Structure 1
């Protein structure tokens, strides 16, 4: 995967014709649409369940079908961009995503909506790695790329939060379907803008690692299926144990295949860097907890507080607004203190907010019971997302840039899938909806503590600012000397 070397040449040769502002805008809006769609469904879940008579497992699959296919095919999507051309695949992904959104909006049954959500995941798996790779290819290492990566990380957090508000407003005013229909004209606008403003990056010869793509998707699918079934049938049920065992076996096959493949979709050398490996694990745990938080909290707001979808969406505003404001200071803070300290502080605040949410009850007023922890969660997310994204691509070789970008998004989406599945299973024994949600918060707190520990061990030692170092380049533009040394050997 060697597209990234020539793209820097494009930037140098055509500084007046390449409109980097438009490239960044297209990238951020497209990624915002994808992340938004990941959470816009949450406030409409009670309506969807009522319309189609979904079981709790079916309700979880309406969310997980998207994130599972999205995460499973992300690495293949990144490879497709390298081999077939980044702009071409970006446009193809938008076409698929827009059409799939229309199918979700017109769904009439459980099978239909789950299949359409999976189809959406295919389009997203093509667009998402291209978006982060376009940033790496378009913006030279240094302050420009650091700011672009920070904006990308902020978009991930804001898309997840604002999706709840947008979804709630549309579900209350029109229908849960409206949140998916709006993707159609938005995708068309992005397609036209991409054809006009995105540079035509060179395609390269190579082969697709279909075995790796199929093994990763089937392995994760079986694993998630077993975990979701555990919430309904128990951990000893054969329909739980066999899929989990099969999933683990297929994932071992995936790792073996990646070691032997001449052109793997996930070069295992990416994990030679403790920073990138740690960032992947932290992102998996962090994203899994936060997506599950949205999944359960919207049910609490509507099922326990008795709110409408709009009220439930607006209930997340304290978190969304604080997250937006805090994200504006990330670049300044990382220049002064380093990326990892900012990330660790952000994760600490999110963990504290989640632990505080375990004290929420139906009797506690929203202002007294929920606003405080929501503010902490927003503040922490705003600080954490940018540095965490930068850590995921730290020090990657030019030929591995596409795979590194895919790994960042894969960890996010597979974490989201596993988070909802695991915490649904953890909370399955609760008698009331209120206790169901609180149990999920407890499980989420444990996941965040683990994420904080991993970040402290793998990221913090490598990212403190050094004298005479260019601003904010510790993680985003090359990682530690240790990582560079390993990559260079």
Structure 2
């Protein structure tokens, strides 16, 4: 591995800078996560600015999440086939241009279309960046450090997005939410181009075709189209259900179409030698367990950054800037938890570290379920946010390690797309279910409580159920990971064999 990198660096004329490369790749992931949450606190201003309806306001958020979640598997496989660095740079360029277009949008349709293009760019960025980061630390302690950085920036990106969105909206107006992301993506693009070297021999894994011309025939077009359409129907149906209800005919039609398309996808993949999700991806390690547990974590994670700002703004009366600043302790605790995760895994075992992280986050959410309508930040939010951040950082790092454990190097981009997709889809399912729960609890409570008290009752229910989901996830972890023992997925404990952990 080191010899390959040395030859690559000589070929490109660059001095190896592993730290700078990892920082550039982590910045790409941070930018993607930032865009998932930075618009939440500015939705009222965005609505007034471009004349959005209630449904249109929802789609400012949904358009990004829909394109991102539906296209992640395709983005990961394309990165494996065409070259991860090339796909990452292309995705960053598209992301920057779409962000600029969103900030300049003169009307609601243009804004929503720009958000969808942002999601398309993010679907190329996330899996390619993760695969490149793991390649530069294929095993041993370096792999643990890389995953720690990934966990820190992923969790902190969501929290910092709320802060940045609030600060920019209050200071210069909502367009600067998107302008700042465009500027950041441009800087990340330059950093990746400068510090992440090409790897001509390994950056793409297309096999030679006739006369030595690379063949693109290994891309599973039919499988990709089917699963992308299935994920689109699923995410659309779930996000629409939040506003129109689960019994709405279009929602039921979308969920029914999802079931049919997923069944068709399985049938297609079983018959294709160039399957989008090949069986070899699950042949070793804990990929299936890691992705299932990640989906359950995502169902709570995405909802947290939806309900917490709502409580701060609608109940406590905070402005956008104060709401964003209130996320800082959570972000700091998340980074601390991510940095501690490899040490805990070495000392306690990977399985125990996952359980500890999930239970810590569950304790924080259970604490949040005691919020009150006349509460305060210090009494009701600070302690729970610290616990949630610590647990989230630990759990995210270890579950990402599980989800890429034992994956063949040629499938690393797909593995990165899969773990991101399961988190996004889990988040869409969790948010739809919890929003419906909170809405119905609030409506019931409104018959006997004041408005703010009824809202708080709904939020308390969402946080309590989130805590229960994480507790159940912690209970499932030993059952799902018992096959390979307690330390298999520890990112820094036991170096995995080179052929399966090299991710370029």
Which region of structure 1 is more displaced relative to structure 2, 401-410 or 51-60?
51-60
Pair 1:446–1:12, CA change in 2 (3 A): same
Query: Which residue of structure 2 aligns with residue 3 of structure 1?
Result: none
Shift of 1:350: 0.9
**Other-structure match for 2:320:** 309
Superposition TM-score, scaled by structure 1 size? 0.89
- In the alignment, is the contact (CA less than 8 A) between 1:152 and 1:386 conserved in 2? yes
d(CA) in 2 for partners of 1:218, 1:150 = 33
**Residue 400 of structure 2 corresponds to residue 400 of structure 1:** no
Query: How far apart are 1:134 and its partner, in Å?
Result: 0.6
1:280 equivalent in alignment to 2:291? yes
List alignment gaps of at least 5 residues for structure 2: 207-214, 444-453
Distance across 1 between alignment mates of 2:426 and 2:54 = 20
Match of 1:427, SS state, is helix
For residue 141 of structure 1, what is the aligned residue in structure 2? Answer: 139
Distance 1:246 1:425 in 2: 21
Q: State the alpha-carbon separation in 1 of the partners of residues 298 and 18 from structure 2.
A: 29
- Matches of 2:371 and 2:346, distance apart in 1: 37
Give the corresponding residue for 2:364. Answer: 353
Give the count of matched residue pairs: 471
Residue 155 (structure 1) aligns with: 153
Cα distance change, pair 293–49 in 1 and its aligned pair in 2 (3 A):
farther
Query: Shift in Å at residue 109 of structure 1?
Result: 4.0
1:92-118 CA-partner distances (Å, limit 9, x unpaired): 111100011112222344433322211
- The match for 1:206 among 186, 201, 216 is 216
Which residue does the alignment assign to 1:452? Answer: 474
Rate the CA distance shift 1:229–1:149 in 2: closer, same or farther, 3 A.
closer
The answer as to whether partners of 1:339 and 1:472 remain within 8 angstroms in 2 is no
> Per-residue displacement from partner, 1:277-299 (whole Å, max 9, x unpaired)?
11111111212211111112111
- Residue range with higher mean Cα deviation, 258-267 or 307-316: 258-267
Deviation digits for residues 400-429 of structure 1 (CA, Å, limit 9, x no counterpart): 222212212212222233332232233332
Q: What is the CA–CA distance in structure 2 between the aligned matches of 1:211 and 1:450, rounded to whole Å?
A: 36
1:473 matches 2:471: no
Tell me how far apart the structure 2 counterparts of residues 82 and 186 of structure 1 sit (CA, whole Å).
Answer: 25
1:96 to 94, 97, 100: 94
Q: 1:434 aligns with which of 436, 456, 464?
A: 456
- Contact 2:342 / 2:491 at 8 angstroms: preserved in 1? no
Which residue is equivalent to 2:434? 423
Q: What SS does structure 1 have at the residue aligned with 2:406? A: coil
Q: Which residue does 2:387 correspond to in 1?
A: 376
Over aligned residue pairs, what C-alpha RMSD do you find? 2.6
Confirm or deny: 8 A CA contact 2:361 2:388 kept in the other structure: yes
Match of 2:450 in 1: none
Alpha-carbon separation, structure 2, partners of 1:53 and 1:357 = 35
Q: How far 1:445 sits from its partner (Å)?
A: 2.8
Instruction: Specify the SS of the correspondent of 2:216.
Output: coil
Q: 1:471 to 1:199 in 2, by over 3 A?
A: closer
Q: Residue 13 of structure 1 corresponds to which residue in structure 2?
A: 7
SS at 2:492's partner residue? coil
Aligned to 1:251: 262
Structure 1 residues 229 and 129: CA distance shift in structure 2, 3 A: closer
- Please say which of residues 263-272 and 399-408 is displaced more in the overlay: 263-272
Relative to structure 1, is the Cα distance of residues 331 and 274 closer, same or farther in structure 2, using a 3 angstrom cutoff? closer
Aligned residue for 1:359, secondary structure, equals: coil
